[in-house]
Chains A and B, each alone.
Chain A
Amino acid sequence: MNAATLFGLCGAVLVGLGLYGIIVHHEPIRKILAFNLLGGGVFVLFGIIARRGAAAGFGGDPVPQALVITGIVVAFSASAVAVTLVMRLFEVNEAARREARSGHSAEDAG
């Protein structure tokens, strides 16, 4: 088994793990983590495809390598938006909870 196949299988497992994590995790932040695991697996698969296409004196086919670079940036952007959304949602809920609590205590006091 050469390195490409080995890492390819590794990528396949990572995809399975990532999917599992996205589906069964309840907390959004863990879903985002799993999404990144999944993305890592996909990029590794791209990598072995690049590796197998090594020619013209290059260690790999540059096209899939370039695609991965683009893909990583897109995945990061996605994570950034998702994380910000999670935090904002958390804050809005917190604020509502605080308000409810202070409302309650005011009622109790009254």
Chain B
Amino acid sequence: MTGGSLLLVLSLAFPLVLLLGALSRDLRQHLPRILPYAPVPALATALFASGATFALPDWPLRLTLELDAPGAILLGVAALLWIVAGVAAQGYLRGRSDAGRFSVWWLTTLVGSMGVFIAADLPSFYLLFSMVSLAAYGLVVFDDTPSTRRAGRVYVALAVLGEAFLLLAFVLLSTATADNSLMIRDVVGNLAQSPWRDLTIGLIILGFGIKMGLVPFHVWMPLAYTAAPIPAVAVMSGAAVKAGVIGMIRFLPFDSASSGWGTALVVVGLFSAFYGVAIGITQKNPKTVLAYSSVSQMGVIATVFGMGLSSGDRGVMLGGAFYAAHHILVKGGLFLAIGAAASVGSRRLWPVLLPAAIIALGIGGLPLTGGALAKLAVKDTLGYGLVGTLGALSAAGSTLLMLHFLTCLQAVPIEPKMVRPSSRSALSMVLSPVAPWLAIALAAILVPWVLYLSVLGGSVADALKPYALWSSIWPMLIGGALWSALQRWGNRLPLVPRGDILVFFGAVKPASARCSAAFEQADDYLRRWPVAGLSLLILAVAFGIATFALR
């Protein structure tokens, strides 16, 4: 086994071993202290093990791991966020009796989140995808209140639905491939010949679209992101959600153009991009605002993939991954900023607010930030026609939404328990929510540059061309103008409940209750003795006739 393979395995095995340790009650209490170290092997893997593979013999584990460029970008950046958020989690958990339980959910989600970036076979991918999706439920409902429970229910329902779609897609993929291969590369490469090609692509888009929160499956995002504790929501919104992104990268057949599904994905993506902004600006809770921003940003990524799918352009895999990597740091960071803001209070808000403003506006494409690079990386993919223009306009929307977020951030109330009486000692300085926030903010600015220059092969000159600068500045100006309009007339906006279209499901509820009540009545009737007896006779006759019909 080469060092690279070893690292690949370790990036999953290390947090898994920590999880095993959680079986002991004593060890479980100490788990929070190790949380920041758990993703370290994954980070090392991303840095040093590019191109490595690891395969166990087919039986019994049939585990195959592989690290390609998009996977490495996402893995490394996500690991970075997990490390920093782990530090924040330590602060959050200090003195809590249920810290061990939190750590178990955290580590399980972590394994899945890291794993999806490197899994190379269908069952492993499905397993790791399930882990990152379902284990996050424990994080969502960690603070047990009626509203977090509701958020948890919605979250799990959609996660399970998405997995059902994916399971079907994976079965179709595997069945369509000769010798029922289970390797992702084989099955996706073969997709063009599959008799169920369109159905499969549709299911893949549905399954991963739910994970990415594309409209109308976005409803879980505002609920769950508002419900989960700050460190948890940072990793969920930053890292965990990218399971959907890597899923699309891995499973959509970018080799061969399929314009129908590509267009559909573009439409859904663009709609999500604007919809997220439109609903986001009506929200007051900064966590909710960020959640809608995620809906919008994932929409942009989906649009990129849609363009790639319709033109058969493999390049979008790397571009999309880069865009997503930027989003990992920024979105994770901004959630940490909310925690930091709540801990320092409005008097000393500027060390939080200033970096927040820089990286938040980066989402809108502020020149020189990672956001501008991300926009640059996908600019050619989006093209210069209608989609390109709409993409640029969505940046205007993002600017607007981020300015709105910064406004809301200033109004975050101080959480009493977050205020530490003596913040002099070095330890509490590190553990206080400000330090991780500043670290991730710094990373959000630097890391995209490093990636842009090294992995994407871009140059500083490209990024600083006047045209590139102008094309990122004008949407921001529009966004700024819209924001001042919002400041003025914002109070006229309707109050949209969190989870927006979820209210329409209120109408579905009685119907489904009636339906299941009908099942119960049917069961009641069928289970009466004479009815069951008659059923038995009818079946006997039916079987007799059926065998007779086969002569």
Q: Per the CB under 8 Å rule, do A and B touch in the complex?
A: yes
Encode contact with B along A16-52: 1 for CB under 8 Å, 0 otherwise. Answer: 0001001110100000000000000000000000000
Most B CB within 10 A of own CB, among A19, A23, A24: A23
CA–CA, A22 and B530, complex, Å: 8
Q: Would you list the 4 A-B pairs with minimal beta carbon distance, nearest first? A: A23-B533, A23-B530, A24-B530, A23-B534
B515-551 interface mask toward A, CB cutoff 8 Å, 1 = contact, 0 = none?
A: 0000000000000011001101100000000000000
**A26, B534: Cα distance in complex, Å:** 14
Which secondary structure dominates where chain A touches chain B? Answer: helix
Give chain A's interface residues, CB within 8 Å of chain B. Answer: 19, 22-24, 26
Please, how many angstroms separate the alpha-carbon atoms of A19 and B537 in the complex?
Answer: 9
Q: Residues of B at under 8 Å CB distance from A?
A: 529-530, 533-534, 536-537
Residues from chain A with Cβ under 8 Å of B529 in the complex: 23, 26
Closest beta carbon of chain B to A34's beta carbon, Å: 11
Q: How many A-B residue pairs have CB under 8 A?
A: 12
Q: How many angstroms from the CA of A100 to the CA of B86 in the assembled complex? A: 63
Minimum Cβ distance to chain A for residue B238 (Å): 62
Cβ of B149 to closest chain A Cβ, rounded Å: 40
Residues of the A chain whose Cβ atoms lie less than 8 Å from the Cβ of B533:
19, 22-24
Contacts of A22 in B (CB 8 A): 533
A67 to nearest B CB, angstroms? 22
Instruction: State how many angstroms separate the Cβ of B379 from the closest Cβ of chain A.
Output: 75
9 further A-B pairs in the complex, CB-CB below 8 A; given A23-B530, A24-B530, A26-B529: A19-B533, A19-B537, A22-B533, A23-B529, A23-B533, A23-B534, A23-B536, A23-B537, A24-B533
Closest A-chain residue to B531, C-beta based?
A23
B536 contact set on A, CB distance < 8 A: 23
Contacts of B530 in A (CB 8 A): 23-24
Q: Within the complex, what minimum Cβ distance (angstroms) separates B177 from chain A?
A: 52
Smallest distance from the beta carbon of B526 to chain A beta carbons, Å?
14
Complex Cα spacing A23 to B528, Å = 10
Q: How far is the CA of A26 from the CA of B533 in the complex (A)?
A: 12
Bound CA–CA A24/B529 (angstroms): 8
Instruction: Give 12 A-B contacts (CB < 8 Å), ordered by A residue.
Output: A19-B533, A19-B537, A22-B533, A23-B529, A23-B530, A23-B533, A23-B534, A23-B536, A23-B537, A24-B530, A24-B533, A26-B529
Q: Closest approach, in angstroms, between the C-beta of B86 and any C-beta of chain A?
A: 60
Residue in B533, B536, B537 with the greatest tally of chain A CB atoms within 10 Å: B533
Complexed CA–CA distance, A19 and B536 (Å): 10
Interchain CA distance A19-B533 in the complex, whole Å? 9
Cα A19 to Cα B535 in complex, Å, equals 12
Q: How far is the CA of A41 from the CA of B548 in the complex (A)?
A: 24
Q: How far is the CB of B413 from chain A (nearest CB, A)?
A: 58
Query: Roughly how many angstroms separate A26 CA and B536 CA in the complex, as a whole number?
Result: 17
CA distance A22 to B534 in the complex (A): 10
